[in-house]
Structure 1
Amino acid sequence: MYTTDNSISLSRDLKREMKAFLPLKDLVSYLSDKLDMSPEEELDSKNFLRCHNYYSFSAFIKQVPDNLHKGKFQAAISLYEFNDWLSQFLFIFSGRLEQFIKSTFIESLCQQYNGKYQKGECYLDETIYENSELY
């Protein structure tokens, strides 16, 4: 729960709005009814949910079209795996992008710097900063 100053305040859910906890067996049964799963999909879901949080996964179930009659669970798994792959790819890409930006910035700064410090120490020179607070 958030307070008015955007800080986090930990407190109980006195309104009882949270969904009830379901043990794995009951969760598989609930999903089987909801998604009309085959026995193979039930086994797959049991194995999947042993290692993955249902609350995180449930958002992907909601993205599966209602008019898909069979394979809804597998379609949700595919969406989940694509999201996981995309997150990993973007993390790698953003890390490389960050390194490129830092390298370009440092290269430019050192080429342009002609102050009293060595080029590798130019960040210590207060005159390269916009104001003393940034320094």
Structure 2
Amino acid sequence: MASAIDAATLQAYRETRYRVLGEVPMTLRIDAPSTRLAALHSALGVACSAFITAANPFSQRCDDSANATRQQALAQDLARLGLGTIGGAGEHPSNGWPAEPSYLVPGLSLEDARALGEKYGQNAVVWCGADAVPRLVLLR
């Protein structure tokens, strides 16, 4: 599928470490199965999750205050959906891009993850199905 996202940005998304904080910390990698995520899904009784941010829309850097405001709005949207969140951060290992505050959202459907990603101007979201394999879902 063709994308409006440039190849270097796509490569950076694939290389990023999607760190989940909280009681069961883990690092998710695109297309790499996660036994910790599978265990979390099982413990919470969900079949899917998404790793999502509202920071830096369309990969254009915003200041910390603007990103915090955007993250708070995303948290409110997720609360309205009745979903809990686990804090996290997306961090590239070497390109110097600042870590982006993010949430792992257990039980967030692919459709809702896409809709929220589009609402907050994201190029992509990371979605994990019952196989607990994080997939890069392009939105543009």
**Into which bin does the TM-score normalised by the smaller protein fall?**
under 0.3
**TM, length-normalised to structure 2:** 0.22
Point out which structure has higher relative CO (alpha carbons under 8 A, 6+ apart). Answer: 2
Which one has a bigger Cα radius of gyration? 1
User: Going by fraction, where is strand more abundant, 1 or 2?
Assistant: 2
**TM, length-normalised to structure 1:** 0.23
User: Going by fraction, where is helix more abundant, 1 or 2?
Assistant: 1
